[in-house]
Amino acid sequence: MTQTPFTVTMPTTRSTPVVFASPHSGRDYSRAFRRASVLDELALRSSEDAYIDDLFADAPRFGAPLICATAPRAYLDLNRGAEELDPALISGVIRRGTNPRVSSGLGVIPRVVSGGRQIYRGKISYSEAQTRLRGFWYPYHAELDRLLQGAHTL
């Protein structure tokens, strides 16, 4: 998987407070992730919002920044809270309350893809979950926050 958790394309001149974000169009399926999964790449890709990044590609020409995730949604869902960890998937995580998304396998690190198909053979380590959050979730959200703060100045 690439070291860059996202790409940002800025307009030459920022003329709108709109920020375009594509958190689910990442297509960088690392060899390690594919090996850890029981699914083939086509099944893993069923959770993508495929090519939304391409659909929004012209946004910078119209004055709006575009941020695109590089990691696939099946690896890490950037539209979830960092605390939405699934104890059925991640070793050492204790269930805290009831969250229907997490219970159904759609936490910040998904257990299933569309159709309820299991991604992994078993659990992943808490350390692996934290590595994904530190490497992708936190940097993406820090940059998105920065872009949104810039929008408030327009």
Residues 43-60 have pLDDT tens digits of: 999 999 999 999 999 999
Residue 68 lies in a domain: yes
Neighbours of 26 (CB within 10 A): 27
> Both tokens of residue 26?
């990442």
Residue 32 lies in a domain: yes
Closest CA to 36 of 140, 135, 137, 110: 110
In this prediction the pTM is 0.94
Which runs of E-coded beta strand occur in 76-130? Answer: 112-113, 117-118
Residue 72 lies in a domain: yes
Residues 93-152 have pLDDT tens digits of: 988 878 999 999 999 999 999 999 999 999 999 999 999 999 999 999 999 999 999 999
Judged against a pLDDT cut of 70, whether residue 2 lies above it is answered with no
User: How many structural domains are present in the chain?
Assistant: 1
Residue 20 lies in a domain: yes
Residue 136 lies in a domain: yes
Residue 1 lies in a domain: no
Helix (H) or strand (E) holding 6: strand 6-9
Domain enclosing residue 143, as ranges: 6-152
53: CATH: 3.40.630.40
